[in-house]
Amino acid sequence: MRQTGYALGLEREQDKEQIMVLWLATLEMGRGPDGWVTGFHKMSESMFGSPPGAIEADEYLSLLAVLVAPGRYNLGTDDQALQERKDRIRRLLAGECVPNGNSDVWLEGCNS
């Protein structure tokens, strides 16, 4: 109930773009070179030296891939699980697959 009230109050005070900025700034993004990182843009700067709009497509997919489980994937390493998740996201964006319903956060419907 408290979160619903907070969300409704936030929507009265902020527009959707401002809410998205707040959300992106508070995301847990996992371990970076200097420890745990909070914030999508901070992780982009920390790992790739540039904001999200200035990084390579594969780097951006890495950031997207960790959102579902930031403690599970290791950016900046040769993490096979991260690569597989990026491949599933790439296939989804290309229209080559569909998730197994709305609860398929792991994109099992996009396995090779």
| 47/32 Cα distance (integer angstroms) | 6
CA distance 28 to 38: 5
pLDDT of the chain, 112 residues: tens digit per residue = 676 666 677 777 888 899 889 889 999 999 999 999 999 999 999 999 999 999 999 999 999 999 999 999 999 899 999 999 999 999 999 999 999 999 999 999 998 7
How many residues does this entry show for the chain?
A: 112
pLDDT at 67: 94
pLDDT value of position 91? 97
Look at residue 31 in the predicted model and tell me its pLDDT: 94
pLDDT number for residue 112: 73
The tally of CA atoms less than 13 A away on the side-chain side of residue 110 is 21
Q: Which two tokens stand for residue 44?
A: 């982009």
User: 61 with 48: CB under 8 angstroms?
Assistant: no
pTM of the model: 0.85
Question: Hey, what are 75's tokens?
Answer: 């950016």
pLDDT at 16: 86
Helix (H, G, I), strand (E, B) or coil at 103: coil
